[in-house]
Amino acid sequence: MSDAPPTGSPLRFVATLLGRQRGAVALLVVLNIGIIAMTLVTPLLTGWAVERIDAGDITGTDGAFTAALVIALAGLLAATFSAAAGVVNSRVSAVIETDLRSRLYHHFQVVDPRTLDARPTGDLVSLASADLIPIAQFFGIRLARGLQGVVTMVLAAVIMVGLEPLLALLALAPLPVGVVILAIYTHRARPRLLEARRAMGALTTTLQETIAGAATVRAYARESEQREHFARDAERVLDASLTVNRMGARSLTAVDMLPLVGSALVVIVGGRLAISGDLSVVAFSVFYTYVVMLVPSVQAVGMTLGQAQPAFASLQRVIEALRSPVQGSPAEPSLPAAPAAVRMRGVRAETPGGDPILDGVDLDVPAGGTVAVLGTTGSGKSTLLALVNRLRDARGGSVEVAGVPVGEVEIGSLRHAVGTATDDNFLFSGTVRENIAFARPDAPLVDVEAAARAAQAHDFITALPDGYDTVLGDRGVGLSGGQRQRVALARALLTAPEVLLLDNATGNLDALTEAAVLDHLDTMRTAAPPTRIVVGYRPAVLRRADEVVVLDGGRIVERGTHDALVRSSARYRELVGVDADGNPQRSAP
């Protein structure tokens, strides 16, 4: 399926989804034609059988016995076609759900980071799971059955008009009332169903946050408050769902009753015509069979329209998500093979809400050089690093890597050239080796071990029960904070990046281990060492930098070498925790 954002109406988007299954859709059309044909011919065959019985012809060539065999054959064919259609319908439904989930997953990988920042994770999970079920069920199964009901009704009505126009008018007269009822229901139900889907997204968010933050919840004894929060969200989902269900029950029940009204009128008027001799009993029985046929057809159409509302509410959410702007384009040129200097001019950055984070930042990091960044909490350090590999995009100014604006190169090539290790230390469920080799899944074990040694992780990894094949739990459960940090650092080093971003990447390590990591990084410097931007507070990190910049309120307020800033800046000494001679005064932040 194309990854282009959906254009046009929702139905056009659905047509695109179904277009990938042309063979299955064509087979469904053929099978449904067969089901409709067998359904519509059965009353005529029944009339033939009744006429033969009335004439006393049971075993003749075209007698009642032959008619009974033909009726049985029609029923068998209808059942066979229906079973086959059910199998194909289920396949179409499953493929639609899989296509949408894959498309959403891919879109989440390339969407503008501000979109993800502004949307709760639980809502995105709900979008790619619960919201897809009504869409797949409706367009994969229910829609075909609804269309089958519509065609059956129309053709049955044509046959009824041909048989007895007056009775046909009586039988069909209540149906326009059903159209009005369904139109009103559709208009009123859609916004409430959309609210129900959004409420489910909020409920999923609460569940996801409670599970992910279970330790925090327990540490502060907030279990009862979280249960109440979850109960309120669940109540919202329940209220919205019950409101729509009540509306549907009233509307669809009324629609289901309408064919019975027509049936009663046909019995009264048609019965009088048969008694008076103006209509044969055989003709009346055939006609009434078509009237009875309207009941399940109308019910199928009503059920289809009822299920259409949650399907279109969910489809609206999916299309809105897929239309959110993506970051970068595969058509952009790759990052050139040039010395990977980093240059920023007049850079501005904002939160998703529009509040400033960085304002007018100028920074030059020569190829192979090292710049350290520090500042108080919220000064914009992590955002500054995130601009380099476009985990965030600047709202003004320019950011260049290897002499090219980062917004003008293919984003994949940029991120392959930039290695990142942060204090977040996110690890995936899987083995230690898989986590280190995340960006290079085909990396040989010798390279994985070399990266682990550089990050001072090899010794503790080999001491694990299965060494590099030890399976880690969700987010690296089973390792300490410092161990997770070293695995994450090894992951960044394995890519042999041209630019290395270290966002407090050694903050959880003790001083000796940190020094060993930094020493190893220094010995890795070759003819083309990586350009490094480092966030840190410890003198061991800052002394190794060619330049240190101090951020405050989103601006660079001081810059220079560590030793020069220690001598000249009281602010710097306070941040680093040293006196004017460079001796520790207190623990660094």
Contact predicate 493/454, CB 8 Å: yes
- Mean pLDDT (10-residue bins), the chain, 589 residues: 67 84 90 90 80 68 77 88 90 90 84 73 80 87 86 88 87 80 74 75 74 67 76 80 77 75 84 81 82 80 79 86 75 75 91 83 90 88 89 88 87 85 79 88 90 88 90 76 86 86 79 76 65 86 88 90 88 84 62
Task: Kindly calculate the radius of gyration of the chain based on its CA atoms and give it in whole angstroms.
Answer: 35
User: Alpha-carbon distance 150 to 152, whole Å?
Assistant: 5
Q: Is beta strand 471-472 parallel, antiparallel or unpaired with respect to 430-431?
A: antiparallel
- Please give the biggest Cα pair distance in the chain: 122
In Å, what is the CA distance from 357 to each residue of 131, 327, 364, 391? 35, 20, 19, 14
> What tokens does 219 get?
């540490």
Task: Look at residues 300, 383, 389, 391 and name the one whose alpha carbon lies nearest to residue 348.
Answer: 383
d(CA 175, CA 178): 5
Q: What is the DSSP secondary-structure string of 430-454?
A: EEHHHHHTSS-TT--HHHHHHHHHH
Q: How many residues can be counted in the chain?
A: 589
Task: Specify the amino acid at residue 328.
Answer: G
Return the pLDDT at 513. 77
Strand partners, 135: none
- Written as one letter, the residue type at 331 is A
> What's the Cα-to-Cα distance from 186 to each of 196, 198, 308, rounded to whole Å?
15, 18, 9
CA distance 190 to 254: 19
CA pair distance 420, 498, nearest whole angstrom: 11
**C-alpha to C-alpha distance for 223 and 229, rounded to whole angstroms:** 10
Q: CB of 101 within 8 A of CB of 171?
A: no
Write the class of the CATH domain 10-322.
Answer: mainly alpha
Q: What is the pLDDT of residue 342?
A: 92
How many CB atoms neighbour CB 566 within 10 A? 22
Distant-in-sequence, close-in-space partners of 153: CB < 8 Å, separation ≥ 6: 175, 294, 297, 298, 301
Task: Please give the C-alpha separations between residue 512 and each of 16, 377, 458, 507, 562, in angstroms, as whole numbers.
Answer: 59, 25, 16, 12, 20
pTM of the model: 0.69
Distance of alpha carbon 407 from alpha carbon 398, whole angstroms: 9
User: Which is it for the CA torsion 224, 227, 233, 236, positive or negative?
Assistant: negative
CA-based angle 566:570:575, to the nearest 5? 80
3-state secondary structure of 397: strand
Local structure of 363: helix, strand or coil: strand
Residue 362 is predicted with a pLDDT of 92
Q: Which residues pair with 534 in a beta bridge?
A: 372, 502
Round to whole Å and give the CA distance between 40 and 294. Answer: 11
Nearest 5°: the CA angle 252, 257, 259 is 115
- Given a contact cutoff of 8 angstroms between Cβ atoms, the answer to whether 520 and 456 are in contact is yes
Domain ranges of the chain: 10-322, 342-576
Decide: 577 and 584 in contact? Cβ < 8 Å.
yes
Give dist(CA 469, CA 430) in Å, integer. Answer: 9
Estimate the share of the chain in helix, then strand, then coil, as percent rounded to the nearest 5: 65, 10, 25
CB-based contacts of 416, cutoff 8 Å, min separation 6: 439, 495
Q: Which of 241, 236, 284, 288 is nearest to 262 (CA)?
A: 288
Task: Write the CA distances from 482 to 400, 432, 508, 509, 588, integer angstroms.
Answer: 33, 14, 5, 5, 17
What is the distance in angstroms between the CA of the first residue and the CA of the last residue of the chain? 50
Q: Among 3.40.50.300, 3.40.50.150, 3.40.190.10, 3.40.720.10, what is the CATH number of 342-576? A: 3.40.50.300
The amino acid at residue 384 is L
Cβ atoms 100, 135 nearer than 8 A? yes
- Cα→Cα distances 411→105, 329, 367, Å: 18, 7, 20
Q: What is the dihedral of CA 508, 513, 514, 518, to 10 degrees?
A: -150
DSSP 361: E
